Amino acid sequence: MKIAVYAFNGITMFHLASLLMVFGEVGRQNLATGWEPIVWTEDGNGIQTAEGLSIQDVAGPEAVAGADLLVFPSWPVDLPPSNNFLTELIRTAHADGIRVAGLCLGAFPVADSGLLDGRSAVTHWASAPDLARRRPAVTVNDSDLYLDHGDVLTSAGTASAIDACLYIVRKHLGSAAAAKVARHLVVAPHREGDQAQYVDRPIPDPGGVGDLGSTLGWALTHLDRQLSVDELAAHAGMSRRNFTRRFTEATGTTPARWILSRRLDEARRLLETTTWPIARIARTCGFGSAVGFRQNFTATYNTTPTSYRQRFTAPVP
């Protein structure tokens, strides 16, 4: 399979190397022939990476002709619009039957081409709002690891590109081949595309939300309690109505949703750092039952607490 990989000045080594490692390992492990990615630039000239390293052995746009897969592994962090040349190249490649993949911020030039209009896409969660504003016709998902429409694929931030590339290997060569590549790279062989990105959502600094600061801080140390809106309002010395209005202004969400997010944050920490039973974690984080905890956890992260613990548990001395 011929794979054309776009590169630009300022691309990070990780974004470029991650897919080169996955696809290159297919050949090194003798799993298939022809899986040698070709790195190309718009003018065929070399580039300098964000880390200051020079890469000179690159091809020009002609590398896209006859490719099976065109990959944009990243995009400049200031998110410039794709120029006419790249936009037309992507559209032409797609019309010629070449699959297109936008990994991490690489979803932006793919979206600029119009290929994702009327479809869903994913990118790094921190840039998802930017993509949604830039291309309203695209349904932007800020949680999934990757989304594949068959002809166009997008993936979430940074390491999720490895998951997406392993998915491509698995789709073309089977699970055994993908597992072998993953073992040699020492990464998880299979994470479903709809598994949630494990990101820490911003938590307002208690000192930066005015008279609510002490209440937020108090709530974080009492997550085992019910923490109703009335109880929070009483702690803040406000009426329920005024507290709810001020809370939403300060945090951008409702008290109930904020508390649930903090309970889940603490639950993830305990799953990663303790061997406590699920029921104990549920009680400590203020869930009424282990069943309710599992339901909320699975609905938010698309995986169970037990599966999450298996992936992220820190070694215990």
pLDDT tens readout for residues 143-171: 788 999 999 999 998 788 998 999 999 88
Between the CA of residue 78 and those of 11, 75, 96, what are the distances in Å? 12, 8, 30
**What pLDDT shows up at residue 184?**
85
Q: What angle do CA 164, 200, 153 make, to 5 degrees?
A: 20
Give the range with max mean pLDDT: 90-94, 127-131, 137-141, 242-246.
90-94
Q: Give the total residue count for the chain.
A: 317
All structural domains of the chain with their residue ranges:
3-185, 206-312
Q: pLDDT tens digits, residue range 37-51?
A: 999 999 999 999 999
263-294: pLDDT as tens digits: 998 998 899 889 999 999 999 999 999 999 99
Predicted confidence at residue 201, as pLDDT, reads 47
Alpha-carbon span 106 to 155, nearest angstrom: 9
Among all chains, which residue has been given the structure tokens 């479903």?
192
Q: List the Cα angle 193/260/264 in 5-degree steps.
A: 55
Q: Which CATH class is domain 206-312?
A: mainly alpha
pLDDT tens column, 115-149: 999 999 999 988 999 999 999 999 998 778 899 99
Q: Which of 2-11, 42-51, 84-93, 160-169 has the lowest mean pLDDT?
A: 160-169
* 123 contacts 107 by C-beta, under 8 angstroms: yes
Query: Which CATH architecture does the domain made up of 3-185 adopt?
Result: 3-Layer(aba) Sandwich (3.40)
Neighbours of 162 (CB within 10 A): 23
